[in-house]
Each structure stands twice: as C-alpha cells, then as structure tokens.
Amino acid sequence: MPIDPHRIACRDGVVFFVRERATGTIVVSALHDDAVSLSCGLSRYRAPHRPGEAYAEHTRMPVERVRAYAIGHGGVAEGGPVAIALLKKLRSEANKGTEGVASTAGFRAAAGGSGVAGRPEASAVPGAPDQRLGAGLPQVEVDVLTPEIIDARRFLAVLDGPHLLDGREPATDAEALRVWQNRGSIALRAYTSLAVRLGPGSERHPLYREAVALRDRALSHVRDTIPHTNTYTPHRQAG
C-alpha cells in the first residue's frame, strides 16, 4: 500500500502530516497533546486547537523544530514525497528568512541501517527533518534564553489559572488526577528548560531576573503537584 504523500511516519509509530495551503503556507499537523511538541518547541507555532480534534496545525515554524519533533519520536522511518518536499522549503533558524535550505538535496527515509533514518552519516542531508539539530548548518550564536522565557510565561499563566480539563471542572477522581498530571508535566517542562538555560554567563541577559523568578515559580508548582499525583501504595507481604 503506497504511503500518503503528505505523511511522515516516525520510528516509534507516531505520524504527522505536511500540507500546503492555497496561500502557500506550509502546515504541519501533529498530535495536539504530544509532550515532544512542547519539549522541542514546535508547540510555539500551534494554531488555535478545537477540542476533540486529535491533531493540531502548526505554521511558520523553522525546519529545525520539525526535525527536532521527528528526532523526539525516534527519527523518520518513512516520508511521503510531498511532505518531504514541503519540509525542505521551510526556513531555517540559522538562515533567517531563507527558504529551501535543502531544496536541491535528495532525501530518502528508510528503516534500519546506519546513520540517521537509515542513511549513512556521509549521505545525511542538511536541513532534512530527521537530522540532528544544527547538522550541516552554519553554527551561529543565538539567544536561547528568551524563547524559553516566553514559553515559561505562557506555561505559568496556565498553571496560575483554574484546574480545568478540556475547559471544564474535572468530574471524577480520575479526571482530577489527569489535571494534576498535566499540570505537573507543564511545570516540569517550564522548570527544566529554564534551569538548563540559566547557566554561566546567563546573568548578563536583560531578562535574567525574570527567568530566575519564572524558574522558581515553576519549581513551586512542580512541588505542589507531587502529593496529588503520587498514587503509589506500598505493598505489604503477608508475614
């Protein structure tokens, strides 16, 4: 059975789709509640999501975010020709405003073999969605803290708000547990991202104090979720 030309299949079984609107906008449709989307930064480009839909649309993202998403799911196992061609047209973070960073290079996604997505390292295509971040691209110094601060502001706004599940109060203990688990994941994502970026030299950043405050608030939320999500009950053996 031929693969959907707009479909990218990852090695862990997750699939996403790449299409082009009549306006020329490239759209990546990925699972809306995917933790990898949050951790790799793809979620920053998410369009408003309608409840009940499994996939969310993402637009105006650089190729590195899609590549990181694929890597987070084990790399690309198989890619439809249209999807691959469209991904090669995405701009690169290392070349702002530049389209088609890999438009002239071939891409072959395969399962197994050596290298990334089955290709030997020597034939890796710079800019392909399953390559390591920055592989084959110019290395430039970028501000990595500001994007995390922006994300943390958004995450903390959610955490400081009401405890809701799909826009409503949880109706059962199981739903309440899901809410706390979701809050814990969001808080941990915000805390770890900022903690990693607040390394030596970060104190020179103009938003350093805000970043520290956001990190500490996120950690407080992490601690708040622990007693609500710790469902482990010790098993006592009969004497």
103 lies in some domain: yes
Q: What confidence score (pLDDT) does residue 27 get?
A: 94
Predicted pLDDT of residue 47: 83
95/188 same-domain check:
no
Helices marked H in the chain: 35-40, 63-72, 81-87, 145-159, 173-197, 208-229
Digit-by-digit pLDDT tens for the chain (239 residues) are 566 899 999 888 889 999 999 888 999 999 887 888 887 888 888 887 676 778 889 999 999 899 988 888 888 888 899 999 999 999 888 765 444 333 333 333 333 333 333 333 434 444 444 444 444 444 334 567 888 888 888 888 888 888 887 778 888 988 888 888 888 888 888 898 888 888 888 888 888 999 999 999 999 999 998 888 876 545 555 54
Instruction: Mark whether 163 and 72 lie in a shared domain.
Output: no
Q: Which helix (H) or strand (E) holds 98?
A: none
> Do 87 and 176 fall within a single domain?
no
State the residue range of the domain holding 46. 7-123
**Same structural domain, 106 and 12:** yes
Residue 134 lies in a domain: no
User: What total of structural domains would you count in the chain?
Assistant: 2
pLDDT at 58: 92
The answer to whether position 239 is within a domain reads no
Judge if 155 and 64 occupy the same domain. no
Any domain includes 135:
no
With respect to residue 175, please indicate whether it lies within any of the assigned structural domains.
yes
35 and 79 co-located in one domain:
yes
Q: How many helices (H) and strands (E) does the chain have?
A: 6, 5
Residues 199 and 150 in one domain: yes
User: Are 115 and 217 contained in the same domain?
Assistant: no
| C-alpha closest to that of 93 among 56, 130, 138, 131 | 138
In sequence order, what DSSP letters do the residues of 30-63 get, joined into one string?
Answer: EETT-HHHHHHTGGGGBPP--TT-SEEEEES--H
